[in-house]
Every structure is written in structure tokens, then in C-alpha cells.
């Protein structure tokens, strides 16, 4: 029988748990869902295991697979299930059963991240179990029929995970496994993961001098070094130019805000756990802002608005601060302070669909520019049966969802729908992008907000002279500087496009007597007028007393796109020689023609214009 890969992976996780139970009989189990490339299981061991122990677990799994044991489904009442788990000393499973009794299957799935944890069978007070070998686990399933059908697997990573994501609860060890139908697929994924490790932005970011994290400043609060600041400024300049074409107006808002604003917006009741504690100033509480939208609403409110001027589009690269558990922090990908490519569009109901399409088109243009071939939208809807976590306005939810769905359908861009993940004030669309090695990131969130107009009295005066509410679109196509730059570093393996590279060309004089000529070239190039570049052409000179090959090696490690070599011949003929990042060496070319091609490439943000120049053919 042919099983879905998700079923195979979840069954493989179950077999891993059975193997662990044999090796560590007193181990306590959390949850073990399938994930995109395999599965994981959270386990509390008597003593923490090491990475070397994974091979021991793997060996036991293979023995269980070889026995070809059947997966047997059983049911118990919740009370009997609690008794069974208590007899087996499985505290976390008892916690799941208690949560199930109180809040139901959906909440268990959301709070644990495991859709397969538990199920109320046919609405009765019973839960399902699956047994394989001598191991019985609380589980919804489904599973394959026999253990020989669990595919090919490889355990490859250990991590820490707080139970139910709560740092106040015990920390378990999370064992990650790969699982595919064939051994060849497992090997291919292992090779991809090796590439992911080599491209890790934390490693390359340090090598390229992009950012630094200081414990004295605070974890999760990156310091941008000069090279990283250049990349930030170039991206911000790009965003400003694109937004100008679409009629955005730029604004600036403060980093702290009186708590009254967040009660007005609803963030304090719904979002408080993600905010930092308040700062008391003159008997008033102020918060570090976790987002910019309430500030933009008050800019919209700074004067009356007519139907003639909507849509109003307000843009800001706004610094925000959100609390993250220290265990969740990861370089630039997940931080406690970040700067968003934020904007809010205030429009009429009839304008909302086209404005949302325009936002999606802006995303697509950026992705094409950065050679991001794969992306899709994750359309997050509320669970309208659980309105305690969302604004209780079912009709408005339905209307807003229709607008977004219609816009996505018309755009032609791929999307998928998920329930229960909307923002508290409206449905949202997360743009998911994949790097060239298949690493997927949620890079930006876009929302259609029907609540803000009511809470903030956001209106425009219509042709009839009456006030009408606006719809608010929250959008951030480039996400945050932090996450997007981390993604680009890994996507390009540190070899950023010429226009984005902190140093676009390094000049290497062959000997000391060529340094003066090298400086003349640098001065000429960096003083040249370049549109669409915050600092013009960016060049450096390596005049150190090192061997030529060592200088070239150093420039290569710094991922500098172009190496300009000048020696006696070049100085006499007023030319330059090049070593390009694609490995080509071009001798004694006209430096003015080269400069013209380089400027053209930078101004158009297109490396192809440079690398396919007639100078190099």
C-alpha cells in the first residue's frame, strides 16, 4: 500500500520513541510530529544524551523495522488513559490529556505544534493509542501498517525544547530525524543540510564583518558593523525608490509609547506576552514599541482626510522590540530588536483588493531582483469557533477574508490557506521564500485590518459629506533588515550582488611603486556620480606587504566581487587587469569603459549587465 509521506514520517517518529523506550525505560515523552523533511520527538531522558547516542537509537530502530511489527490502534477513556500514563510515569502525556479535557484537540495541536498528538474519537470521551513492539503511545495517527513501511531515515540533530514552548516548564531534548521513501533522498537531504551549515549567516556574517552580538549590550540585540550598515542602507534605498513609485509617503515615529496607545490598539490585551515590561515616566507607563501601526494611525488622524486623497500610504523603516525566549534567538534570523520595512495603507473597501494586489506585485518584483525562484503565500484565517483569541466580529472576518482571497486568486501567485493563525485584528498573509538550497523562511507579513478603523476612528469624508471607515493594510515586503539580510547571506553564500556588496572592488598593486596609481584609480571611481547607490562605488586597496596570491586569497574569502590588479604594464598603458568572481582573468582593459559598465550595473542593480559586458567577451 502507498502511504502519504507525512504518515511514513509520523510512523518513523513512533518507532524512534519505541527504540528510546527500550534503551532508556524511564524516559518521558512529549510530542513527535512529522515535519517537512522528517520528524522530531521531544524526550526527557534520565540524563541528557549526546549526539553520539543517536547512532545507538538508529541501530535499535533498524532492528524494530526489520521485525516488521504491526501498528495496532486502541482506544481508552480519558480517565483510563490518564491512569495508564500515570502507571508508566509519563507526566507530559498526562498534561496533554488534561489540556485535551479542558480545551479540546485544536488547542492541544496549536500549543504543542503536533497535529497528531491526541484525538477525541467520534466526539466520545475516548482517546486513541498506537502500539508497536512493546511501546504504546497516545496518538491520533494515522500510521503505516507495519514497521517495514517507515521508509529510510537518519537521526541528525539534537536541540533543546521547553515543554509546550514555555520556559517555565521542563526542558526536553528534541531529536530530529530525516525520513524519505528512499535512501537516495536521505543522502540528498544530508548534502543539502551540509550546504546549509556552510552557508550559516552567523558564520559568514562574522567573516564578512556584517554584525556583532555583545553580551554587554544584550542577547538578541545585534550591533551593525560598517559592512552590514552598507547593506542595510542599500536595501532601504531600494525600498524608498520602489515605494515612491507607488505614492508612499515616508514618516518617522518614536520608539516608546504611552500604554494608552496599546490599550486603544488592543495590543496590550492580546499581545502583552510579546512586549517588554513598561517603563514608568511621571506616573505613566511607557512601552518599547513592538510594532509601528498605532503610531501610523495617529499620523493619519493628524488632519481630516477626504475621499479625494485615499488611499493614503505611510511608510517607515521602523525599529521595534519584541520579547523572545533566549533559546529561540538565532543570529539575525530571530532577534529582540529589529527594523521593519513597514507601511500602512488606508483605503476604501472598494480599493482594498487592488491595493493588496499591488503589495503582492511589489513582493514578486523584489524576489525576482534577488533571484528568489520559489515563494508562496500562507493565508492565515481565524478559527471562528475560538473567538476568545480574535476580535468577535464574524461578518467582518468573512468580508476581509473574501477580499484577500479574491486578490490572491487574481494575482496568480501560489498560496495555501491555514486556519487559526490570523492576527487578532484580521486575516494575514505570510510570504514564504526559499533560498537556492531550499531553506524556507517566512520573510514578511501582510494583513488586512478591519478593527483599526473602529478603535481609532479612522475615517475619510466621502462625496456625500459623511464619514466612512477605512480598511488598513499592513505590509512589509522586505520584512526586517535583520531577517532579510540573514536570508540573503545564506541564499548567496555571502557572495552578494555587486550593487549590494560592502566592497565592490579591491585594488591590489603588485608592488609599492604601483600604490600611487592604485590610489588614483580608487579616487576616480569613488568620486564618480552613481544613481541608486547610497555611497556611490565602494572600493578598497590592499597595500599590505603580502604576496600577491595571499592578497587574492584574502579578497576571495571576503567574497569581494571584483579584484583589480595594477602593475607596471597597467600603469604604463593606463589600464587595469581584473580577476572576476566567476573565475575569469581579464588583462589590461580600458579603465574608463570598465567604470562605465560597473556604474551601469550598480545603477540598474543587475550583475548580468556587468558580467556580460563586451569588455569581457
Angle between helices 5-23 and 53-67 (to 10 degrees): 110
Closest CA to 264 of 475, 470, 453, 397: 453
Give the DSSP H or E segment for 411: helix 394-411
Pick the closest to residue 5 from 38, 28, 31, 27 (CA basis). 38
Catalytic residue (choose from 344, 514, 522, 538): 344
615 Cβ contact partners less than 8 Å away, ≥ 6 residues apart: 586, 589, 590, 593, 594, 597
Dump strand ranges (E) for 251-302.
256-258, 279-281, 284-288
Crossing angle of helices 352-369 and 226-245, rounded to 10°:
140
Please indicate whether residue 344 is annotated as part of the active site: yes
Known catalytic residue at 293: yes
Helix (H) or strand (E) holding 526: helix 515-526
Residue whose grid cell is 512529549: 30
> φ, ψ for residue 507 (rounded to 5)?
-95, 125
| Beta-carbon contacts of residue 191 (< 8 Å; ≥ 6 apart) | none
**Residue 474 is a catalytic residue:** yes
Q: Which of 53, 342, 449, 542 is catalytic?
A: 342
Which of these is catalytic: 90, 173, 319, 340? 340
Identified catalytic residue from 28, 140, 428, 605: 428
Q: What's the rounded Cα separation, in Å, for the pair 78 and 96?
A: 11
Radius of gyration of the chain (CA): 29
From 185, 134, 173, select the one nearest 9 (Cα to Cα): 185
Nearest Cα to Cα of residue 22 among 72, 73, 56: 56
CB contact at 8 A, 314 and 251 = yes
Cα–Cα distance for residue pair 180/145, rounded to 1 Å: 17
C-alpha–C-alpha distance, residues 328 and 473, integer Å:
29
Following DSSP, what letter does each residue of 565-597 receive, concatenated? EE-HHHHHHTEEEEEETTS-EEEEEEHHHHHHH
Pairing of strands 34-35, 38-44: antiparallel
Active site residue 12: no
For residues 500 and 234, is the Cβ–Cβ distance under 8 A? yes
Out of 353, 474, 538, 591, the active site residue is 474
| Neighbouring-strand partners of residue 178 | 38, 154
CA distance 195 to 493: 9
Answer left, alpha or beta for residue 481, where phi above 0 means left and psi between -120 and 50 means alpha. Answer: alpha
Q: Count CB-CB contacts under 10 A for residue 279.
A: 12
Dihedral over alpha carbons 211, 216, 220, 226 (to 10 degrees): -20
Q: Catalytic residue, from 322, 336, 491, 538: name it.
A: 322
Buried b / exposed e across 433-445, counting CB within 10 Å, b at 16+?
Answer: bbbebebebebbb
Which residues carry out catalysis? 293, 322, 340, 342, 344, 428, 474
Amino acid at each position: 500500500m502507498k502511504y502519504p509521506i507525512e504518515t511514513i514520517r509520523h510512523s518513523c517518529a513512533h518507532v524512534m520513541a519505541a527504540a528510546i523506550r527500550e534503551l532508556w525505560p524511564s524516559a518521558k515523552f512529549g510530542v513527535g510530529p512529522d515535519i517537512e523533511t522528517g520528524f522530531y520527538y521531544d524526550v526527557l531522558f534520565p540524563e541528557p544524551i549526546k549526539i553520539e547516542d543517536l547512532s545507538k537509537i538508529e541501530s535499535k530502530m533498524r532492528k524494530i523495522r526489520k521485525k516488521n511489527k504491526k501498528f495496532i490502534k486502541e482506544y481508552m477513556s480519558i480517565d483510563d488513559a490518564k491512569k495508564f500514563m500515570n502507571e508508566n510515569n509519563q507526566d507530559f502525556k498526562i498534561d496533554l490529556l488534561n489540556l485535551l479535557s479542558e480545551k479540546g484537540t485544536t488547542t492541544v495541536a496549536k500549543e504543542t505544534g503536533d497535529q497528531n498528538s491526541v484525538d477525541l474519537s467520534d466526539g466520545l470521551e475516548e482517546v486513541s493509542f498506537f502500539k508497536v513492539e512493546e511501546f504504546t503511545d497516545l496518538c491520533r495517527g494515522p500510521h503505516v501498517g507495519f514497521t517495514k513501511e517507515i521508509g529510510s531515515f537518519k537521526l541528525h540533530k539534537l536541540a533543546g525544547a521547553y515543554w509546550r514552548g514555555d520556559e517555565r516548564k521542563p526542558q526536553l531534548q528534541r531529536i530530529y530525524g530525516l525520513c524519505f521513501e528512499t535512501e537516495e533522498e536521505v543522502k540528498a537531504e544530508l548534502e543539502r543540510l551540509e550546504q546549509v551549515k556552510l552557508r550559516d549567516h552567523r558564520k559568514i556574517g562574522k567573516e564578512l564583518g556584517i554584525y556583532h552580538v555583545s553580551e554587554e549590550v544584550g542577547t538578541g540585540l545585534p550591533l551593525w558593523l560598517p559592512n552590514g550598515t552598507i547593506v542595510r542602507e542599500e536595501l532601504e534605498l531600494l525600498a524608498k525608490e520602489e515605494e515612491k513609485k507607488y505614492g508612499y509617503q515616508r514618516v518617522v515615529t518614536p520608539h516608546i509609547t504611552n500604554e494608552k496607545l496599546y490599550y486603544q490598539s488592543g495590543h496590550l490585551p492580546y499581545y502583552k506576552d510579546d512586549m517588554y515590561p513598561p517603563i514608568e515616566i511621571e506616573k505613566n507607563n511607557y512601552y518599547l514599541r513592538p510594532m509601528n501601526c498605532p503610531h501610523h494611525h495617529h499620523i493619519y488622524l493628524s488632519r481630516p482626510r477626504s475621499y479625494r486623497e485615499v488611499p493614503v500610504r505611510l511608510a517607515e523603516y521602523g525599529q521595534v522590540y519584541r520579547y523572545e525566549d533566549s533559546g529561540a534567538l538565532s543570529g539575525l534570523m530571530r532577534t529582540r530588536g529589529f527594523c521593519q520595512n513597514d507601511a500602512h495603507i488606508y483605503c476604501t473597501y472598494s480599493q482594498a483588493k487592488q491595493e493588496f494586489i499591488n503589495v503582492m506585485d511589489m513582493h514578486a518584483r523584489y524576489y525576482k531582483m534577488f533571484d528568489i525562484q520559489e515563494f508562496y503565500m500562507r493565508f492565515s484565517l481565524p478559527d471562528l469557533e475560538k473567538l476568545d483569541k480574535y476580535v468577535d466580529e464574524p461578518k467582518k472576518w468573512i468580508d476581509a477574508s473574501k477580499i484577500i482571497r479574491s486578490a490572491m486568486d487574481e494575482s496568480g501567485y501560489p498560496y495555501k490557506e491555514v486556519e487559526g493563525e490570523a492576527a487578532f485584528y484580521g486575516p494575514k498573509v505570510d510570504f514564504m521564500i526559499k533560498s537556492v538550497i531550499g531553506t524556507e523562511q517566512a520573510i514578511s507579513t501582510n494583513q488586512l485590518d478591519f478593527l483599526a478603523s473602529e478603535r481609532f476612528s479612522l475615517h475619510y469624508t466621502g462625496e456625500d459629506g459623511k464619514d466612512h471607515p477605512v480598511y488598513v493594510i499592513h505590509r512589509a515586503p522586505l520584512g526586517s533588515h535583520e531577517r532579510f539580510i540573514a536570508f540573503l547571506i545564506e541564499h548567496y553564500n555571502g557572495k552578494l550582488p555587486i550593487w549590494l556588496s560592502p566592497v565592490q572592488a579591491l585594488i591590489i598593486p603588485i608592488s609599492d611603486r604601483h600604490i600611487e596609481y592604485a590610489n588614483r584609480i580608487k579616487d576616480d571611481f569613488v568620486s564618480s556620480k552613481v544613481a541608486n547607490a547610497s555611497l556611490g562605488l565602494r572600493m578598497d586597496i590592499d597595500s599590505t606587504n603580502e604576496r600577491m596570491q595571499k592578497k587574492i586569497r584574502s579578497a576571495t574569502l571576503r567574497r569581494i566581487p571584483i579584484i583589480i590588479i595594477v602593475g607596471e604594464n597597467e600603469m604604463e598603458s593606463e589600464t587595469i587587469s581584473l580577476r572576476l568572481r566567476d573565475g575569469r582573468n581579464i588583462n589590461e582593459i580600458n579603465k574608463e569603459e570598465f567604470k562605465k559598465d560597473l556604474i551601469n550595473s550598480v545603477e540598474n542593480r543587475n550583475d548580468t549587465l556587468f558580467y556580460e559586458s563586451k569588455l569581457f567577451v
